[in-house]
Structure 1
Amino acid sequence: MAQCSHSCNFVLIALWTLCTSICVCVITIHRSCIRRREKRDERSGHHHRSRHHHRSERHSSKKDHGVNPAAFIWFFLHLAGTIIGMVGLLDLIKNSYWYDPVVRRLSLGFGITTIITAVLTGLYMYKRHRQRLHDGYDDFCSPWVCGVLATILAFLAGFCISSTLYCDVVLGMIAGNMLGRPSSDLWKLYWPWFIANRILLLIN
């Protein structure tokens, strides 16, 4: 029964990894398409200065700088995958948390760091928003609302980032394999995937 429960936890972590990989791939492709369109517009801007081009360029710039709601789909997919994976991870390490002081300190360190970063971000946005109102700018929300929204968004972003690092570190610590070396029968598949995944992260 315990072995089946542990298998379910690893399945949840695998779903988390799958969601993260999908989001990284989509963001990389989307970023490449944007860069390609920008370079094409720059080349056409040097050779064509007609009125039609200026009108279309202004129209495209509004599209590019506007907020695309479709982009939030990948953020929520990544957030959902992170929550699912953390449920499996926390259930997997709950015994180690209470009996291993290193795991407990590591867990508290990641959690406290994420919360403090979110609170500091909210305070900064609150102060910045008040300064903008003092300077005469009109904004769509009050400083308190802006600070709370910034705190929530910073917490969600920090949660997604720190959870990935926390998962790697805590599982490596429990397994006694901090470097994550694969077994001899999987290393030919593991290292190409590892290198390709890190290259995509660096490109982004």
Structure 2
Amino acid sequence: MSTGVHPSTFLYARATSSNGTSVLESFAEEIQCYSLPYGLLGFISHVLTYYTIVCLWFGRKPLWPFSRVSFSRFDLALGGFGLLISTLLSIVTIVRCKDTWQLLVIAVWKMSMSLLNGLTAVHVAILFTLRKMKLRKAAKKRRREGSDESNETAVSGVKLEEAAEAESGKGRHKKEKSTETTTGSHKKEKSTDSKTGKHTKERSTKSKAADEEAPVVPKDKDEPAISVKVDPLKVVAWWIVLYIPGMFAGITGLMALVVEAQGHGGIRGLTAGFYAIVGAGTLFTILGIVYRLRKDQGELGRPEKAKRIILGAIVWVVGSFSILAVFYSDWALGMMTNNITGLPSSDAAAVYWTYWVAKRLPMFSL
């Protein structure tokens, strides 16, 4: 049963030798097990994948990169589902292509990219989740401490009022004793009234203080919105370590197919262009390193800075190569099968488009 290419797919007859033609015809049969995107659709898929990864690395919304990603459980679910579905379908392709090692390692390559895409989305969502939880906890703690301080202030104020009232009562009592024209009964009545008023006011003040002692903690629904800003690049970008081995394995299998199909003129031209771009980029990078190190004579005496420059150049070369290699694989496979658009056959459409859509899910991170 055909599962990998369009029914109208046939090989170019432009191979210059009968051996080259037979190799391509054999490959057309073998690639039927391969149900992952390639050709034009694969190229578009990989452009969107790289774009999504870069946006998430910098904490930006892929659909609106001018705005930062804000946490929602929806983002975590998108990343998780995309990771699970794309990885499972990649494994299905790997198992089905187990008899053709070149296609098997290419499928491993594409699975490593799916892992990079999905894990990046999930990791960014988790980072924002943890950061928001930390900020919310700190805000609650500040409100609780502020409530305790206000209660202590209220109690202290009550005590000061009681002391002032007591002092005032003593003064009035002394004044009453020193007055000779006041009768004893009048003194007693006034003293009783003073004490009664004092106790009444004291009870009222204490009741008010007791009402204020209970701390008031706002409910979650009344909490203000918490703005979270996270720079995920330094943490999340390390997932690329999972991608690099798969990329080198896949490019090895792809080049093995290219060597076998060297009689195809279009593939020869595409390969020459690929190597020319990679070679020119590497050469300019090396020249840039030399210029940077010699710009200031003192740079050569500072090994730490020289190491950073060289390491940055290596990262740049490997990163550029990995991006160009994916694009090269899309067009090379499309040319080998004369299916430059990469449209799947009807019996492979469900798996193909499910995988294609699953890799797009992280783009909708909010």
Q: Same fold (TM over 0.5)?
A: yes
> How far 1:111 sits from its partner (Å)?
2.7
> Residue by residue, what CA displacement relative to the aligned partner does 1:134-175 show, whole Å, maximum 9, x if unpaired?
8xxxx76244x3333222111111122111111111101111
Give the secondary-structure state (helix, strand or coil) at the position aligned to 1:186: helix
Residue 194 (str. 1) matches residue 340 (str. 2): no
1:10-159 pair list within 5 angstroms: 10-41=103-134, 72=238, 74-97=239-262, 99-121=263-285, 141-143=304-306, 145-159=307-321
Structure 2 unaligned blocks of 5 or more: 1-25, 31-96, 146-230
Q: Is the 8 A contact 1:125 1:150 kept in 2?
A: no
Q: What do you get for the CA RMSD once the two structures are aligned?
A: 3.9
The number of equivalent residue pairs is: 183
The one-character-per-residue Cα deviations of 1:15-42 (angstroms, maximum 9, x if unpaired) are 2222222222112111111233344455
For 1:183, the equivalent position in structure 2 comes to: 345
Question: Which segment drifts farther, 112-121 or 79-88?
Answer: 112-121
C-alpha change, 1:125 and 1:101, in structure 2 (3 Å) is same
Distance 2:142 2:284 in 1: 47
**1:47, distance to aligned residue in structure 2 (A):** 6.3
- Letter of the 1:159 counterpart: F
User: Which AA in structure 1 matches 2:362?
Assistant: L
Q: Determine if contact 1:9/1:88 at 8 Å carries over to the other structure.
A: yes
Counterpart amino acid of residue 93 in structure 1: V
Identity between Structure 1 and Structure 2 (%): 25
Counterpart Cα distance in 1 of 2:232 and 2:261:
47
Compute the TM-score of the two structures, normalised by the length of structure 1: 0.69
Residue 12 of structure 1 contacts residue 84 of structure 1 at CA under 8 Å; is this kept in 2?
yes
Aligned residue identity for 2:304: C
Aligned-partner residue type, residue 196 of structure 1: A
Q: Using the TM superposition, give the Cα deviation of residue 125 of structure 1 relative to its aligned residue in structure 2, in angstroms.
A: 6.5
Ranges in structure 1 where 5+ consecutive residues have no aligned partner: 53-63
TM-score under structure 2 normalisation? Answer: 0.41
Superposition deviation, residue 112 in structure 1: 2.8
1:164–1:66 CA distance, 2 compared to 1 (3 A):
closer
Distance 1:42 1:178, change over 3 A: farther
Contact 2:124 2:232 in 1 (8 A): no
Matched-pair contact (CA < 8 Å) for 1:122–1:149 = no
**Inter-partner Cα distance in structure 2 for 1:113 and 1:201:** 29
- C-alpha distance in structure 2 between counterparts of 1:180 and 1:65, whole Å: 34
